[in-house]
Structure 1
Amino acid sequence: MIKNYLKIAFRNLKKDKQFTLLNVLGLSAGLACTLMIYLWVHDELSYDKVFEDDSRIYQVMEHRKTGGTITLSDESSGLMGDVLKVQVPDIEYAAAVAPADWWQKFTLSAGNRNFKATGQYAGKDYFNIFSFKLIDGEKGRVLNDKNSIVISDELARKLFGTANHVIGKDIRFQHDKDFFVSGVFEKTPSHSSQQFDFVLSFEYLADVQGWVKTWGNTGPHTFVKLKKEADADLVNKKIANIIRANSGDTTRSAYAMRFSDNYLKNTFNHGSRVGGRLEYVKLFSLIAIFILLIACINFMNLSTAKASGRMKEVGIKKVVGAARSQLVLQFLTESLLMATTTMLFAIAIAWLLLPQFNQLTGKDIELTFDAPLILTLAGITLFTGLVSGSYPALYLSKFNPLAILKGRLDSSFGELVARKGLVVFQFGLSVILIVSVLVVYKQVQFIQSTMPGYNKDNVIWFNSEGKLAGNEETFAAELRKVPGVINASFTQHNMVGRTFGTNNISWDGKNSRESVYFEGFFGGFNFIETMGMRMAAGRSFSSDFGAEGGKAILNETAVKVMHLKNPVGKNVNFGDNKLQIIGVVKDFHFESLHETVKPSFIVFANGTSPYYKMMIKIKGEHQKEIISQIQHLYEAYNPGFPFAYNFLDQAYQKQYETEVRVAVLAKYFSALAILISCLGLFGLVAFTAQKRRKEIGIRKVIGASVNNITIMLTKDFLKLVLIAILIAFPIAWLIMNQWLQGFAYRISIGPAVFLITCSSIVLITLATVSFQAIKAATANPVKSLRSE
């Protein structure tokens, strides 16, 4: 029987080529889109799930009370890990980390080989917590010695030509200090958010930079691994007051979050939340479901549109004894055959488009036919076949054989409402997608065009290392002599995200029970001018005033928070140091526009620091030549250190990488949804024209023009689209308004967005409907009336 059903299905598909082509196009496009979104979602969900005992690995966050609000930060004190391991029995391992994204690449040397590499500092238990595969060395001992360095096999091959037998070998760090290889690990997995080439001891960093192990200063990340029997909720209750118990600070409390959840639920940039990926995973999962439903609806509409062509087939089968269940099974078999065929086409389309899709998403997804993917594809195919074929099967199989053989095929009110309701649903989704694309595009355009309060364009930066360390001002003066260099200075700050934060700021009149977070900047002469910041009051740092130690510049938000009137000349305390305010700089964004501007201060940079970065403003023309001259100066001044620089505007734009990609993907998915919806509308027009062919013939005979008949057929579908618009607009506004709440600085959703959407949908509808309407209106009425 199944064989017979398949044979009939093949014949029907071959017989009606237009029906088959439209279904193949719609279902293939929908399934290909669903498949690519599935691959993207699966890739996103797999991040940081690569570690053994994933369920026991947690990152310790801090809830912070500032100005009546509570924020969540991934920064903590470098003391946190040591304290937790001693005071909380449920914690098996704990480690502080100064992550790789704090630093630009370091210079490592072995013999006469110099390479730039990405590194971080980590506590002794780091490799006990994270199961990076050690090729050589013991995970519990590789970071015991402050002079140890653990390197990747890839870096080992660069430095020594081999990854074997390198334990104990000497590596020169920054041409300044020797470290000895204590372990070699396999290159970090691509699906780990922890990416680095080597690891040094956090204890060594604490010796060099003592602030990382104080309760008043935060910055390091703290990771813990719970014991097998530990309960995470109970652990959180135990650690909530650990900061207050050890430091007396009542404004901060510890909170452990499962590490593998951080990638999706919170995206941090050195302590600042810049958005969550989980909402986009949910969003695109819904888009995939909607596009698949739209494609299935097309199949339903196109199947019912050609129902009259199969009336006699159904009637004869019923007369000779075919049960309704057999007819249902036959039509479902046809639907499943169509779904299977289109899935094969969809796989081919996805395979062809995957390189471009990877480029859009910034991923390296591969179409690997493993068991989970095969089962998923089978499930999607079965779902598509059953959903798309169920209504046509039930609709066609219920016809009365007597009515069928007499040529009457009357539609009930419910059937009419169902078909039109499906079109309203399709175009409602399309309207929501168009509004969403326009709002996301405008918001992305807004955040990209909004000046952050400093000039990020044509600014390059690189680390102050080697001979530059301690001689930044001298080197900046040399840089200013290079043709094409507009200005040069230095700072410890990345200018994008938080780099140094402290609550250790006090002033006359401050509420002793209030803790205010300040972002700290250290800058040299010409720092304000190089970055293009503007002064609101007072002056910037200048050599005309001699040594500027003990001087500070506040931003406008800091002045407001501190309730200072005429702040220039007044003093603030930074720890035990008294600073005189010499100026107020206009607010600037060192975080993304997801966040409000925080209070900040700029202190004159003197002495040496491994954090200092040279900031150079160059002309927009002939940048390669200018940078080449800077490189020659750098290499002459700092031999043995490879020259590596970054553009500041690229780091700024990276904050909005997710939003930009979402905007691009949403644009393509919306276009696809509209295209598939138009195919469905095309099918419904064909159905209507077929049902009303005799009416159209009679109207033409009594004098109706082509325009009259075209308008008659078109207006009904425009009504459906207008209903979809009226339903979808409030929903779209609610969804996008909620999305915009994630930005502290955002656009307002004006009427232009809805006018553009309405115009686009109406024009698309007219273009789609008119083809079939004109075709029906120009048909010879004799053919439709000859049976009367």
Structure 2
Amino acid sequence: MIRNYLKIAWRNLVKDKQFTLLNVLGLSAGLACTLLIYLWVHDEVSYDKFFDKNDQIYQVMEHRKGGNQQLTDESSGLVSEVLKLQNPEVQYAAAIAPPDWFQKFTLSNGDKNIKAVGQYAGKDYFNIFSFKMLQGERGKVLNNKNGIVISDELAKKLFGTTDNAIGKPIKFQQDKYFYVSGVFEKLPAHSSQQFDFTLSFDYLAEVPGQQWVKSWENGGPHNFVMLKKGTDIDAFNKKIASLVTKNSKDTARTTFVTRFSDNYLQNTFIHGSRVSGRAEYVKLFSLVAIFILVIACINFMNLSTAKASGRMKEVGIKKVVGAPRIQLIIQFLSESLLMAIFTMIIAIGIAWLLLPQFNQLTGKQIQLHFDAQLILMLIGITIFTGLAAGSYPALYLSKFKPLAILKGKFTSSFSELLARKGLVVFQFTLSVMLIVAVLVVYKQIQYIQSTKPGYNKDNVIRFDSEGKLLGNEETFTAELRTIPGVVDASFTQHNLVGRNFGTAVVSWEGNNDQTTYFEGFYGGYKFVETMGMQMAAGRAFSKNYGDESNKVLLNETAVAAMHLTNPVGKTIKIFNQPLQVIGVVKDFHYESLHQAVTPSYIELAVDNSPWYKIMVRIKGADQKETIARIQHLYESFNPGFPFSYNFLDEAYQKQYETEARVSTIAQYFSFLAILISCLGLFGLVAFTAQKRQKEIGVRKVIGASVNGITIMLAKDFLKLVFIAVAIAFPIAWWVMYQWLQGFAYRISIDPGVFIISGTSILLITILTVSFQAIKAAMANPVKSLRSE
């Protein structure tokens, strides 16, 4: 019986080639899109889920009262070890100075000088995070402060092999030797933590000037714990809430933990707010996949019911000879399932062909591996598509009354027409919503990229101060300014992109113990001028005024937060050090536009710090030649250190990499959704014209024009699109308004977005409908009337 159903189904599909082609194109495109989105979503949700005891790994967070920084993933470097000592629930704990604090370090072996990404971590780090260890005991590799744990890739670069790496010396920053204590396998692509080597956090805390990483009064390090299985997280968080307050005078900081593997997607606790909202984009594209699949299924439903008149006699005869309705339903569902299987095979082929381009678009390394989970997903989607697309046609066709059919008295019911039109409206409502969303996202990204951050980020290169540059930044930058093509140069502790140093220990006259969190910038002379910052009042640092080490600059937001009038000349305290305000810098953005500008200060950089970055503004012309001159000076000044730099504007734009990619992907998917909708509309118009061919013939014989017949056929479909537009606009406005709330600085949704969306979908509909309508209107009426 099943074999017979499949045979009949195949014959029907082959018999009506136009119907089959339209459905194959629509369904295969929709399924290919769904498959690609599934692979992207699966890749996103799998981040940081591969650790052996993933459900026991937590990151320490802080809630801070007052100011702009309500939530942060930074805390004192002492938190982890105190948590382990005082709480039996903690199995392992480790603090880290993360890789994004630093640019690349220089590691050397003989004449090999390699730039590599590094971090400093506590002894338990590799007990918490089960990265695969190839050499060394994971619980002991960070016990020695002179030990270094490296990746197998870095071992090959330095030693040419990973064999017998333990104990081999590596020269760090051309200054100190560390000895390999462990080798780990290259980190998985699904790890949010990416680094080439790890040094001891205890070693960092002993470096002159870096003792602050183990001070209760400072935040900065990240802390992680592995809790024993079965720990009550709510009870544990209540227990540790006052940890910082008990060990310092700071009553504004509350400690708690959150599951580490949730942070990549949730991203709720990065410097006070949800920054990138990856979880939102995962939900968004999951919804888009469902939309596109639904649109493709609607095409199948509409085309199947539209061509029902061609199968009425088949249904009538089968019912007369005794076929029950359930048998007919199974037959029609078999056809739709066969179509779904056929189109899924084609969709897999399309997805496989497009995967390299899709990876380039998304910045991922997704591969199409047919594991059990993917196979079950493909089977599930195929069955869902087959049943969803075929359910209405099966129920609709199987209910025909045989007597009315065989007498030729069957007419389309009002409910059939209403359902078909309702599906078209729903289909185009989704398409219009996608067009509006794409336009709003595109305009917001354009706004972000064109908004000036308050300093001039263009044509600025930056590189680390290391080796002989340390302590000689003023001398080096002075020489840089003499190079042809260099506009200006200075140095700073700050990356100018993202947060680096935050402090709550800022006081001023009349602050009444308020807690306001300030971002600290430490820069050399000419820092303000090099970065193109604008002064709102006072002046910048200058050697013309003698020693400026006890002076400070504030930004406008800091002045407002401190409620200072005429701040120039007043004294504030930072870490209890009195500093005189000599100027106010106009507000500038160092974080993404998701964040509001925070109170900030700029101090003169005077101490010998390993955090300094050299900032060099160069002319737009002949940049290669200028950079080559800078490299020559750097290498002559700092032998043994490879010259490695990056452009500030590129780093700035990376903050919006997720949004930019989402915008581009959304454009492709929206185009696909519209294309699938138009395929269905194309088919419906064709069937409508075929159904009304005798009417069209009569109208032409009595003098109707081609334009008149085209308008007659098109107007019904245009009405449906107008209804879809009216429904889609308010829904789309509300959805995109909510999305824009994630940005502190955002566009307003102007009427132009809806005008462009509405006009676009109407023009696309007119072009789609007109082709078939004109074709029908120009047909020879003799052919259509010959049978009368």
TM bucket, shorter chain:
over 0.9
2:526 matched to 1:526? Answer: yes
2: CA distance between counterparts of 1:408 and 1:614? 86
- CA drift at 1:393: 1.1
Query: Quick check: 1:107–1:173 contact (8 Å CA) kept in 2?
Result: yes
Q: CA deviation at 1:270?
A: 6.7
Unaligned ranges ≥5, structure 2? none
One-letter amino acid matched to 1:127:
F
Which residue matches 1:255? 256
1:270–1:497 Cα contact (<8 Å) kept: no
Name the residue aligned to 2:474: 473
What one-letter code is carried by the residue in structure 1 that aligns with 2:241? A
Please say if residues 80 and 94 of structure 2, whose CA atoms lie closer than 8 Å, have aligned partners that are also in contact: yes
1:464-511 per-residue CA deviation (whole Å, 9 max, x = no partner) reads 000000000000011111110100000010000100000011011112
- What does residue 194 of structure 1 align with? 193
Kindly provide the amino acid, as one letter, of the partner of residue 79 in structure 2. Answer: M
1:273 & 1:505 partners in 2: Cα distance?
26
**Contact 1:507 1:572 survives alignment (8 Å):** yes
SS in 2 for 1:217: coil
Cα displacement string for residues 638-667 of structure 1 (whole angstroms, at most 9, x for unaligned residues) = 000011101101110000001000100110
Distance, in Å, in 2 between the alignment partners of 1:87 and 1:561 is 38
Is residue 556–residue 584 contact of structure 1 (8 Å, CA) maintained in 2? yes
Deviations 1:291-324 (CA, angstroms, capped at 9, x unpaired): 0010011011111122111222222222222221
**Aligned partner of 1:362: which letter?**
G
Aligned-partner residue type, residue 193 of structure 2 = Q
The one-letter code of the counterpart of 2:89 is D
Distance in 2 (CA, whole Å) between partners of 1:706 and 1:326 is 45
Per the alignment, residue 184 of structure 2 pairs with: 185
Distance 1:477 1:196, change over 3 A: same
Match of 1:590 in 2: 590
Counterpart-to-counterpart distance in 1, 2:204 and 2:192? 22
User: 1:382-419: CA deviations, max 9, x gaps?
Assistant: 11111111111111111111222223331221111110
How far apart are residue 370 of structure 1 and its match?
1.2
Alpha-carbon offset, residue 775 of structure 1: 2.3
Name the CA distance, whole Å, in 2 between partners of 1:572 and 1:147.
Answer: 41
Hey, what does 2:26 align to over in structure 1? 26
Structure 2 residue aligned with 1:44: 44
Please say if 1:444 is aligned against 2:445: yes
Letter in 2 for 1:60: V
Question: 1:531-570 maps to which residues of 2 (within 5 A)?
Answer: 531-570=531-570
State the alpha-carbon separation in 2 of the partners of residues 228 and 269 from structure 1: 27
Tell me if the contact between 1:267 and 1:277 (Cα under 8 Å) persists in the aligned partners: no
Alpha-carbon distance in structure 2 between the residues aligned to 1:230 and 1:717: 61
What one-letter code is carried by the residue in structure 1 that aligns with 2:119?
Q
Q: Does 1:73 align with 2:72?
A: yes
Which residue of 1 is the match for residue 427 of structure 2?
Answer: 426
Within 5 Å, give how 1:183-222 maps onto structure 2: 183-208=182-207, 209-222=210-223
SS of equivalent to 2:603: strand
Contact 2:274 2:742 in 1 (8 A): no
Q: C-alpha distance in 1, partners of 2:780/2:11?
A: 29
Q: Which residue of 2 aligns with 1:15?
A: 15
Aligned-pair CA distance for 1:250: 2.2
| Matching residue of 1:228 | 229
User: Sequence identity of aligned pairs in percent?
Assistant: 74
**Deviations 1:725-779 (Å, cap 9, x if unpaired)?**
1111000000000000000000000000000011001101111111222222223
> What pairs with 1:261-660 in structure 2 (closer than 5 Å)?
261-266=262-267, 273-512=274-513, 514-660=514-660
Q: Distance in 1 between matches of 2:642 and 2:85?
A: 43
**8 Å contact 2:71–2:270 — kept in the other structure?**
no
Specify the code of the residue in structure 1 equivalent to 2:260: F
Calculate the TM-score normalised by the size of structure 2. 0.98
In the TM superposition, residue 705 of structure 1 has moved relative to its aligned partner by: 2.0
C-alpha separation between the residues in 1 aligned to 2:694 and 2:405? 17
* One-letter identity of the residue aligned with 1:295: A
Tell which deviates more after alignment, 670-679 or 5-14.
5-14
Contact 1:709 1:773 in 2 (8 A): yes
Could you say which residue in structure 1 is the equivalent of 2:696?
696
* C-alpha distance in 2 between matches for 1:268 and 1:661: 23
Q: Are 1:75 and 1:271, in contact at CA under 8 Å, matched by a contact in 2?
A: no
User: Which residue in the other structure is 2:743 paired with?
Assistant: 743
Aligned AA (2:304): S
- TM-fit CA distance, 1:271: 6.9
Q: For residue 172 of structure 2, what is the amino acid of its counterpart?
A: F
Question: Closer, same or farther in 2 for the Cα pair 1:408/1:773, shift >3 Å?
Answer: farther
C-alpha displacement at 1:669, in angstroms? Answer: 0.5
Shift of 1:690: 3.4
Check whether the contact 2:145–2:202 (CA below 8 A) recurs between aligned residues: yes
Q: Which moved more, 1:31-40 or 1:85-94?
A: 85-94
Alignment partner, residue 134 of structure 1: 133
- 2 CA distance for matches of 1:553 and 1:267? 31
Give the Å deviation of 1:245: 2.0
Q: Structure 1 residue 693: deviation in Å?
A: 3.1
CA distance in 2, matches of 1:162, 1:271: 44
What does residue 715 of structure 1 align with? 715
Deviation, 1:273, is 4.5
Question: Is the CA contact (8 Å cut-off) linking 1:122 and 1:200 kept in structure 2?
Answer: yes
Please, which moves more after superposition, 751-760 or 308-317? 308-317
Q: Deviations over 1:532-583 (max 9, x none)?
A: 1001111111121222111100000001111111111111101121111111
CA RMSD, 1 decimal: 1.4
Q: Cα distance, 1:786 vs. partner?
A: 4.3
C-alpha contact 1:102 1:270 (8 A) present in aligned 2: no
Name whichever of 308-317 and 599-608 sits farther off.
308-317
Identify the range of structure 1 (5-14 vs 632-641) with the bigger mean alpha-carbon deviation: 5-14
**What's the offset of the Cα at 1:268?**
6.7
Q: Deviations over 1:601-660 (max 9, x none)?
A: 000001211100000001111111111111111000000001110110111000000100
Q: AA paired with 2:191?
A: S
Find the residue that maps to 2:370 and give its secondary structure.
Answer: coil
Partner of 1:770: 770
Q: Partners in 2 of 1:271 and 1:649 — Cα distance?
A: 24
1:711: how far off?
1.2
Q: Work out the CA distance in 2 between the residues paired with 1:26 and 1:229.
A: 50
Count residues in correspondence.
786
Could you tell me whether the CA contact under 8 Å between 2:524 and 2:605 is conserved in 1?
A: yes
Letter paired with 1:25: L
Alpha-carbon distance between aligned partners in 2 of 1:161 and 1:40, rounded to the nearest angstrom: 36
CA positional deviation for 1:687: 3.4
Alpha-carbon distance, 1:210 to partner: 1.0
One-letter amino acid of the counterpart of residue 634, structure 1: Y
Range 724-733 or range 139-148, more displaced: 139-148
1:102 aligns to what?
101
Q: CA deviation at 1:700?
A: 2.8
> What amino acid does structure 1 have at the position aligned with 2:322?
G
In the superposition, the TM-score normalised over structure 1's length comes to: 0.98
Q: Structure 1: 5+ residue runs without aligned partners?
A: none
Shifted more, 586-595 versus 142-151: the winner is: 142-151
- 8 Å CA contact 1:305–1:686 kept in 2: the answer is no
Residues 1:270 and 1:260: Cα distance change in structure 2 (over 3 Å): same
Deviation per residue, 1:65-107 (Å, 9 max, x gap): 224x672211111111112112222111111110011111101
Report the equivalent of 2:168: 169
- For residues 353-405 of structure 1, give each alpha carbon's deviation from its aligned partner in whole angstroms, at most 9, with x where no partner exists: 10110011000000111111111111111111111111111111111112222
User: Structure 1: which 4+ aligned runs deviate by more than 6 Å?
Assistant: 267-272
Query: Do 1:219 and 1:271's aligned partners in 2 also have CA atoms closer than 8 Å?
Result: no
Q: For residues 149 and 268 of structure 1, what CA distance do their matches in structure 2 show?
A: 30
**SS of structure 1 residue aligned to 2:275:** strand
Contact map agreement 2:718 2:762 (CA 8 A) in 1: yes
How much has 1:676 moved relative to structure 2?
A: 0.5
Larger displacement relative to structure 2 (478-487 or 767-776): 767-776
How far apart, in 1, do the equivalents of 2:308 and 2:673 lie?
25
CA distance, structure 2, for counterparts of residue 395 and residue 784 of structure 1: 28
Residue type matched to 1:363 in 2?
Answer: K
* Alpha-carbon shift at residue 269 of structure 1 (Å): 6.2
Seen in structure 2, the aligned counterparts of structure 1 residues 269 and 245 have a Cα distance that, compared at 3 Å, is closer
